[in-house]
Amino acid sequence: MLVKIAYVVMVIYVFFYLLNIRKLYEGADPWTEGAIMMLFGLPVMLYSLVQESLMEGQTIGKKIMKIKVIKIDGYQAGFGDYLIRWMFRIVELGIGSGVIGLVAILASNKNQRLGDMAAGTAVISLKRDINIDHTILQEIDEGYIPIYPLVIKLSDNDVRIVKETFESALRGEDFKLIYQLRQKIESVTGIKNQSGNDSDFIRTILKDYNYYTRNM
């Protein structure tokens, strides 16, 4: 809100006070005046959509608060997801001044507003004390033999997301999420599950990634 207010103050001061652009459309019809005002208002209207798209799920406010928009399966949201969230924001804020969104967040077990439910996203906190459990490190026996060499197609960030999502799903006994995570890993890497068990497959993926990156 501070960023938006600062923008509005700047526009009023520069364009309407210093440059006095009203002279350019004096006597114009209401549609022209409305179009000009709409043009100046676009950055405010599209603020969250543009910033979340360019900053991978964050706005300036989200960066300050250390929160971020991600897909429910733990992966990075895309422009279509941000667009859906933005469109629903208009409804949520326009009707009841945000009460609808608040009720949805309180009623959802994942604290999602309507836009998040429609886009399959959630807002997560990045405020964490880092320890070894929050890293991609895995314990590997000295004689460990890797199974999936294609795991190196993943990045450190991918593996961190996989590990955090997997551990969270295990704690919540969310086996559907584990199944979806296994499918996502297979589609990204081209690896086929040889264990027959989703959880064992993901554990092996994490160990194999650590093995190959430590020995590269």
- Whole-number Å distance between alpha carbons of 210 and 83: 36
CA distances from 172 to 1, 49, 169 (A): 35, 31, 5
109 and 72 in contact (C-beta within 8 Å)?
A: no
> Which pLDDT value is given to residue 22?
75
150 and 208 in contact (C-beta within 8 Å)?
A: no
Strand bridging mode 67-71 / 121-125:
antiparallel
184 and 167 in contact (C-beta within 8 Å)?
A: no
* Stretch (H or E) spanning 138: none
List per-residue pLDDT tens for the chain, 216 residues long: 899 999 999 999 998 888 888 776 677 778 887 888 889 999 999 999 999 999 989 999 999 998 999 988 777 899 999 999 999 988 888 777 788 888 888 888 878 899 999 999 988 887 755 444 445 566 677 788 888 889 988 888 888 888 889 988 988 889 999 999 999 999 999 998 887 789 999 999 998 888 888 755
> Which pLDDT value is given to residue 52?
94
Nearest C-alpha neighbor of 69 from the set 119, 108, 123? 123
- Whole-number Å distance between alpha carbons of 199 and 137: 17
> Which pLDDT value is given to residue 131?
44
> Which pLDDT value is given to residue 101?
83
CA distances from 129 to 61, 109, 119 (A): 21, 24, 29
Alpha helices in the chain (DSSP H): 2-11, 30-45, 47-54, 60-65, 79-94, 99-107, 114-119, 156-171, 175-189, 198-214
Question: 99-107 vs 79-94: helix axis angle to the nearest 10?
Answer: 120
> Which pLDDT value is given to residue 47?
94
> Which pLDDT value is given to residue 132?
40
> Which pLDDT value is given to residue 130?
42
> Which pLDDT value is given to residue 135?
53
Does the pTM surpass 0.75? The reply is no
Burial of 30 (0-12, 13-18, 19+ CB in 10 A): exposed
